Chains A and B, each alone.
Chain A
Amino acid sequence: MGVPMQFVMPDLRPLTPEILMTVLSLLVLLSDLVIKRKETIALLSILSVAAVAFTFRDSLGVTFNGMFISDGYSRFFGIIFVLNVILTVLISVKYIGIERVNFGEYYGLILFSTLGMMIMASAGDLIVLYLGLELMALSTYILAGFIRYDVKSNEAAMKYFLLGAFASAFLLYGTSMIYGLTGTTNIKAIAGYILLHGLMGNPALTLAMALFVVAFSFKIAAVPFHMWAPDAYEGAPTSITAFMSVGPKAAGFAVMGRVLLDGLYPIKPEWSAVLIPIAILTMGVGNIVALSQTNIKRMLAYSSIAHAGYALLGVIAGTADGLASVMNYMLIYAFMNIGAFAVIIMLRTEGFKGDNITDYEGLSKTHPLLASLMLVFMFSLTGIPPTAGFMGKFYLFMSAVNAGYTWVVIIAVIFSAISAYFYLRIVMYMYMKDPKQEVAISTSPSMSLALAITLFGVIAIGVLPASVVHLARIAFP
């Protein structure tokens, strides 16, 4: 007679939001069978993420032997992901009808992708990190190719898929090296092992760190691993471009913070020596190539690359302040970038693409309100006070200066000044040129709500940044 196996049920409370999210995502996916009106499914998905957000507060804790961490850090990112879903769904409702891809699984995939992001932000173990990353990535590949009949959309999905899968192979090779070196995949235990055995400077560890940096750089679209971003952003449905430019990027920064600042903190001099050139290249290539773009989605793709470069400064700083300013910046970026994409979507009507920069000529005369909204978002992306974009950059640059990287910040400020050219060119087209053609816009109540939320976010955080920064600061211990 053997002793009966003891099975201790792990504490599931820290997982409440993820479990709820899984159940609700499946329900939203299944509701497509019975609900014929797709707007109802959109409403259901917004209600689902709102319900998930309410469970964040009571979920703090660590479970599954440290494999899953629910702390202020992961839940702050969770709020960014929830916001990303709400805004994306609001701007999609009418748009996917215009693109003739009004299918119910669109919303289900958005929710699954977000679940993957939440798992990534909470990962305390490299295995969990990998699973969350793949859940996020696989759902996003499908969303990028959602306009099945459009070659551009297929091509976007293809490129995103090939390079994303390539990057996750690097992540896994890095994981296997770390596992072989330290005998564990737990992020906290890795740092402990490195310190205990003095592995600093071990070539295999450096190689593993480099593989991780490559994989994360692909996810956040940092140069020289950004090749997929412009094509994927231009070809994907515009609402999904907005979703991809915020969610996966924020999730990439979340795991970057966790792995580099928790697991590999003992070798910070080595990874910051790798990240500084990447950050400078990212800001440089992103801002300079954006100057010559004629398609506004492609221009915003390069701008998104450049913004990843700014946010990298916070990681390079490697302090709690640095990471808090990255979190803050990602939140601000969600508001201003989705706001800009919402304006782009409004110009898309039946038979008119509206994604060329010249389509914005004279917009202030035909649609003054829309033009003024675009003005605010462009000012915010440039970083002009009193918008949120300025405060976000200010905190990032401050944290990097305080950590002693003044020269990198000087380069960042120069590139940031260059970026004013292509953002303000749109403003110039809207306000100082005469309309060449009659541009119709597609309005809907949900779109107005999305624009109101993003405008409020951009102005409110710009005028009163302290509360958000404080929230981010206490979230990271």
Chain B
Amino acid sequence: MVPLQWYLMLSAAVFTIGVFGFLTRRNIIIMFMSIELMLNAVNISLVSFSHYLQDLRGQILVFFIITVAAAEAAIGLAIIIALFRNKTTAHVDDMNEMKG
């Protein structure tokens, strides 16, 4: 039986990788993948808490997160495509139409 702490450490590690990926990478698709990583880190910790507490609420929230993440991916990719059509780049440093 793997103790709860291990899952929490895994979750914290994945979440941190996601945060660093988001903050350091400059490609929109990779930044977007980093956000997905953060969401899945949350899912790991929710499921492990849910199992530990023998309470289903955590797993219900996980299902909602997965569904919302799917919707978010659809909208995010649509925005990226709209931007790509006008600008032909997926690099955030090239997005500098507005300054000040």
Q: Name A's B-contacting residues (CB within 8 A).
A: 126-127, 130-131, 134, 138, 141-142, 145, 148-152, 154-159, 161-162, 165-166, 169, 172-173, 175-177, 179-180, 183-185, 230-231, 234-235, 289, 292-295, 298
**CB of B64 closer than 8 Å to a CB of A:** yes
Whole-angstrom distance from the CB of B99 to the nearest CB of chain A?
9
Whether A230 pairs with B75 at a CB distance below 8 angstroms is no
* A165 to B79 alpha-carbon distance, docked (Å): 13
Q: Would you call A161 and B79 a contact (CB within 8 A)? A: yes
Query: Please, could you name 8 A-B residue pairs with CB atoms under 8 Å apart, sorted by A?
Result: A134-B71, A142-B78, A152-B98, A154-B82, A165-B32, A169-B38, A176-B58, A177-B45
Classify the interface of chain A: helix, strand, loop or mixed. helix
A130 to B42, CA, bound (A): 13
| Known A151-B86, A151-B87, A158-B79; contact A185-B61, beta-carbon cutoff 8 A | yes
- Residues of chain B within 8 A of A158, CB atoms compared: 28, 79-80, 83, 95
Please name the 10 residue pairs, one residue from A and one from B, whose CB atoms are nearest each other, closest first: A169-B38, A154-B83, A180-B49, A172-B42, A176-B45, A151-B86, A134-B68, A176-B46, A165-B35, A157-B79
Looking at the assembled complex, report how far the CB atom of B67 sits from the nearest CB atom of chain A, in whole angstroms: 9
Contact A138 B75 (CB under 8 A): yes
The interface residues of chain A lying within 8 Å CB-to-CB of B65 are 130, 172
Choose among A155, A166, A176, A234 the residue that contacts B42 (Cβ–Cβ < 8 A): A176
Nearest-Cβ distance from residue B20 to partner chain A, whole angstroms: 12
- Nearest Cβ distance between residue A189 and chain B, in whole angstroms? 11
Q: Tell me what chain B mostly uses at the interface: helix, strand, loop, or mixed.
A: helix
Tell whether, in the assembled complex, residue A293 and residue B58 are in contact, meaning their CB atoms are under 8 Å apart: no
Which listed residue (A126, A145, A173, A298) contacts B79, Cβ 8 A?
A145
B98 lies within 8 A of A235 (CB) = yes
Contact B31 A130 (CB under 8 A): no
Residue among A150, A152, A161 with max Cβ neighbours from chain B (10 Å): A161
Q: How far is the CB of A135 from chain B (nearest CB, A)?
A: 9
A304 and B83 CA atoms in complex are apart in Å by 26
Query: Cβ of B71 and Cβ of A155 under 8 Å apart?
Result: no
A244 nearest CB across to chain B (Å):
15
Instruction: Say which residue of A131, A161, A179 sits within 8 Å of B49 (CB atoms).
Output: A179
A173 and B80 in contact, given A158-B28, A230-B100, A298-B98 (Cβ under 8 angstroms): no
Bound: A353/B82 CA distance, A:
22
Give min CB distance, B32 to chain A, whole Å. 7
B97 at the interface (CB under 8 A from A): yes
Contacts of A177 in B (CB 8 A): 45
Contact of B35 (CB < 8 Å), options: A150, A151, A166, A185: A166
In whole angstroms, how far apart are the Cα atoms of A69 and B68 in the complex? 22
Other-chain residue from A130, A138, A162 in contact with B61 (beta carbon distance below 8 A): A130
How distant is A158 from chain B, measured CB to nearest CB, in Å? 6
Q: Is the CB of A162 within 8 A of B28?
A: yes
Residues of A within 8 A of B15 (CB): 169, 173
Q: Restricting to B21-64, which residues have a CB under 8 Å from any CB of A?
A: 22, 28, 31-32, 35, 38-39, 41-42, 45-46, 49, 52-53, 55, 57-58, 60-61, 64
Which residue of B78, B92, B97 has the most chain A CB atoms within 10 A of its CB atom?
B97
Residue of B57, B71, B76, B100 near A161 (CB, 8 A) is B76
Q: Is the CB–CB distance between A169 and B35 below 8 Å? A: yes
- Cβ–Cβ contact A131 & B83, under 8 A: no
B71 touches A138 (CB 8 A): yes
List A contacts of B80 (CB < 8 A): 158
Contacts of B79 in A (CB 8 A): 141-142, 145, 154, 157-158, 161
In chain A, what residue has the closest Cβ to B48? A180
B16 to chain A, nearest CB (A): 10
A231–B100 Cα distance when bound, in Å, is 9
Complex alpha-carbon distance, A234 and B99, angstroms = 10
A175 pairs with B97, CB closer than 8 A: no
Q: How many Å from the CB of A303 to the closest CB on chain B? A: 13
Does A162 lie within 8 Å of B75, measured CB to CB? no
- CB-CB < 8 A to B31: which residues of A? 162
How distant is B49 from chain A, measured CB to nearest CB, in Å? 4
Q: Contacts of B28 on A, CB cut-off 8 Å? A: 158, 162
Which residues on A sit within 8 Å (CB–CB) of B45? 173, 176-177, 180
Asked whether A169 and B42 contact (CB < 8 A) given A155-B98, A158-B28, the answer is yes
Distance to closest chain A CB from B33 (angstroms) = 11
A173 and B41 form a contact (CB under 8 A): yes
